[in-house]
Structure formats: structure tokens, C-alpha cells
Amino acid sequence: MKRAYKYRFHPTPEQAAELVRTFGCVRLVYNKALEERTRAYTVEGRGVSYAESSAALTAWKKTPELAFLREVSSVPLQQTLRHLQAAFANFFARRAKYPTFKSRKRSRASAEYTRSGFRWRDGRLTLAKMGAPLDIVWSRPLPEGAVPSTVTISRDPAGRWFVSLLVEEKIAPLPPVERSIGVDAGLTALLTLSSGEQIANPRHERRERRRLARAQRALARKEKGSKNRAKARLRVAKVYARIADRRRDHLHKVTTRLVRDNQVIAVEDLSVRNLVRNRRLARAVSDAGWRELRRMLEYKATWYGRTLVVADRWFPSSKLCSACGTLRNDLPLSVRAWACACGTVHDREVNAARNLLAAGLAES
């Protein structure tokens, strides 16, 4: 299967300038192609194909106003047209909303290179229009003999540069195990397992809240458009990046452990989009990272031959007695423990996890 390996790298001033120009040209081409597609549909009532957009790009390069597009590699420009074509395909298939224009400030700065846009030799990566290879921090090795098919260069709001290498890799499934687990997500404890174990919620955003507030106040006092405001914005972005990195690292460790130790993993289908609309819970729910946790479990279970079962969103996991199957009529969130008529005293989260496990085993 295809797998991406992401690394930090440190460009030289010349490489950084070339990449910034490439980012700008990629954004410009995407926006102009989207504008032309929208105009053709609203005014002429016709669609625009990728071939037409590619021909238009060639014509743009020949105009005096857009002649600078010839100064950067053509590969990322063609790739952004393919991404736009895929965005429209998803829109017409009702899998996504109508494509939007890329903003210089709010959009992720990135450029994608296919095999014709870079050189890979002896573990060193050199992009088109560059004379020297990138100074990559190899935090982990690539699979032996792997050759990248696609390279994506990006820069995050904190000013850090990343390179993502897409390679073909054969991932061996883990040996089968007898153990299965039910997982209930929460806020007090990030995860409660059907075994009774609780995994604490690190609350990374809460730990950095004072530093974040101080950086945001400093940003608010700076004059718009000034260099000091740009520096203050960078400090805010670095705090956010620190929070996101810690959260992602913790979720990776938790999900890897669950997938390694269990053959069947049962979780509930949480509507995170609706939960974050609650102004009292939005911050805590976002900090917990439930959506990213579910995503990691899905692809890791696929990689390593495990079974992930997602219970229906309306499955009454908390109100159902895991011992006798009696269903309570109501169970307010303030009730963390309750006694069933059969005499069993339940912890709310542990009982939910056990019910999820039973449902998962029945389905699998």
C-alpha cells in the first residue's frame, strides 16, 4: 500500500525563496482555474475539463502579466489543477462542498511534486529548479529500497518546513490475538476500556492556556501590517503547534497500543461536529481529539489486520445494563454511577465500554 513519511527540513535562504514563489504560483493557478470554471458554468452553462484548464495554464504563461509562472517548476502547477479536478469530482458526487478559493493567510502553503519534478539519489532529495538537495532531518528511516513516487513540500503557520514522501510499502499484519476491547471516549478520562482501565485525558490545550492567552494579548496590541505583529502572530502559531504536536503524539501512542494488543476494537460513532456546537463543551471536545483518534484507529486497524467496529450513534451504551440487559429510560450526564434492578452497580463509562464490546463482538 501507499504510505507517506513526513519529515522536517531546513531550507537554505535560496531554497526558501524558491519554495515561497512556488507556493504563490500554485495558489494563483488554483484560484484562476476555479474562477474560470465558475464563470464558464454560470455564464455559458458548460463544464471545464482538466485538459482545458491545462491548456489555459499554457496560455497564461505566455502573457506578460503571468510570465513569472515560467520561473517555477511546472509540476506543482499541473498538480494543483489535478487537485481542483478532484475537488469538483467530489462536489458532483456530493462528498464535499463547492471548492473555495485559496487564501494567502488561511490556506495551507504546499506544493506537490511527482517523479518528473524531483531527483532521488542515494537517499538525497533534490527538487526541480534547485541545485542542492534538501537538508532533511531523518527522524526515522524510510523502508529499505523505497523510492518516493510523490513529494509534498509544506510550511505550517509556525514557520516550520516539512516534506512528505509517498512510498509503496508492504505492511505485514500483526499476529492474531485473542483479546478484544470496548472503548468509550470521554472528557474526564480520554478513554475508558471495557477491562476497567481508564486512560487519562492530558488536556494539552488547558496546560498551555496561560501561555496562549499571553501570546494572543500581545498579538492584539500590535498594529496591523507591522513587523512586530508578524512576529507576535508567529509566537501564537508556535504555541498552537506545540499543543497539536503533543496531542498527536499522545493519540499515536494510545491507538498503537490498542491496535497491537486487541484483535477487535469496538468504539461508538460520536457526532463531533454537533458536540462542538455546544459552547460549554466545544473547547474540551476539540482538545480531546476524538475525530483524530477515530481516524488513527481506522487506518492502523486496516494496516495491521485488526477489526474496528463502530457502534451506531444511537446505541444506548450508557443506559443499558451490561449484566442483565435492562434498559433505563433516562440517565442524565450528571449521574456517573448507577445501580440496576439486578443488583449490579455500574460505573457509567465502564458499563458503556462493556456494552460497546458486546455489540462489537456480535457484529464482527
266 secondary structure, DSSP code? E
Total of domains in the chain: 2
pLDDT in tens, 319-329: 888 888 888 88
Which domain-ending residue is among 102, 137, 168?
168
224 is in which domain, residue-wise?
180-363
Average the pLDDT over 153-160 and give the result. 94
323 secondary structure, DSSP code? T
Question: Does residue 173 lie within any of the structural domains?
Answer: no
Pairwise CA distance, residues 185 & 271, whole Å: 12
pLDDT in tens, 242-251: 999 999 999 9
Please give the model's pTM, rounded to 2 decimal places.
0.89
**Residues 224, 117 within the same domain:** no
**Residues 329, 250 within the same domain:** yes
**Residues 156, 230 within the same domain:** no
**Residues 153, 190 within the same domain:** no
**Residues 138, 195 within the same domain:** no
What is the grid cell recorded at 132? 542542492
Pairwise CA distance, residues 118 & 126, whole Å: 6
Which domain-ending residue is among 112, 137, 168?
168
Least confident of 68-72, 268-272, 284-288: 268-272
Q: 339 falls in which pLDDT band (50, 70, 90)? A: confident
- 114 by DSSP, 3-state: which? strand
Which domain-ending residue is among 137, 168, 199?
168
Number of CB atoms found within 10 A of residue 45's CB? 7
Question: Does residue 174 lie within any of the structural domains?
Answer: no
pLDDT in tens, 216-236: 999 999 999 999 999 999 999
Average the pLDDT over 295-312 and give the result. 94
192 secondary structure, DSSP code? E
Question: Does residue 94 lie within any of the structural domains?
Answer: yes
Burial 78-98 (b: 16+ CB within 10 A, else e): bbbbeebbebbeeeeeeeeee
Q: 317 falls in which pLDDT band (50, 70, 90)? A: confident
Taken in order 124, 129, 132, 134, the sign of the CA dihedral is: negative
Question: Does residue 212 lie within any of the structural domains?
Answer: yes
Least confident of 5-14, 93-102, 237-246, 340-349: 340-349
Pairwise CA distance, residues 320 & 67, whole Å: 67
Q: Which residue has the cell 501564537?
A: 236
Average the pLDDT over 262-288 and give the result. 90
Nearest to residue 361, comparing CAs of 180, 161, 137, 105? 180
Q: 347 falls in which pLDDT band (50, 70, 90)? A: confident
Question: Does residue 175 lie within any of the structural domains?
Answer: no
**Residues 326, 214 within the same domain:** yes
**Residues 131, 191 within the same domain:** no
Average the pLDDT over 310-339 and give the result. 85
Nearest to residue 231, comparing CAs of 324, 159, 284, 280? 159
**Residues 217, 158 within the same domain:** no
3-state per-residue secondary structure call for 213-249: HHHHHHHHHCCCCCHHHHHHHHHHHHHHHHHHHHHHH
**Residues 151, 256 within the same domain:** no
Question: Does residue 272 lie within any of the structural domains?
Answer: yes
Question: Does residue 233 lie within any of the structural domains?
Answer: yes
Which pLDDT value is given to residue 337?
A: 87
Amino acid making up residue 186: G
Parallel, antiparallel, or unpaired for β 345-347 and 337-339? antiparallel
Q: Which residue has the cell 513519511?
A: 5
Kind and range of the H or E element at 212?
Answer: helix 209-221
Pairwise CA distance, residues 337 & 350, whole Å: 10
Question: Does residue 66 lie within any of the structural domains?
Answer: yes
> Crossing angle for the helix pair 13-39 and 74-92, nearest 10 degrees?
40
Pairwise CA distance, residues 83 & 128, whole Å: 20
**Residues 309, 208 within the same domain:** yes
**Residues 116, 237 within the same domain:** no
**Residues 192, 120 within the same domain:** no
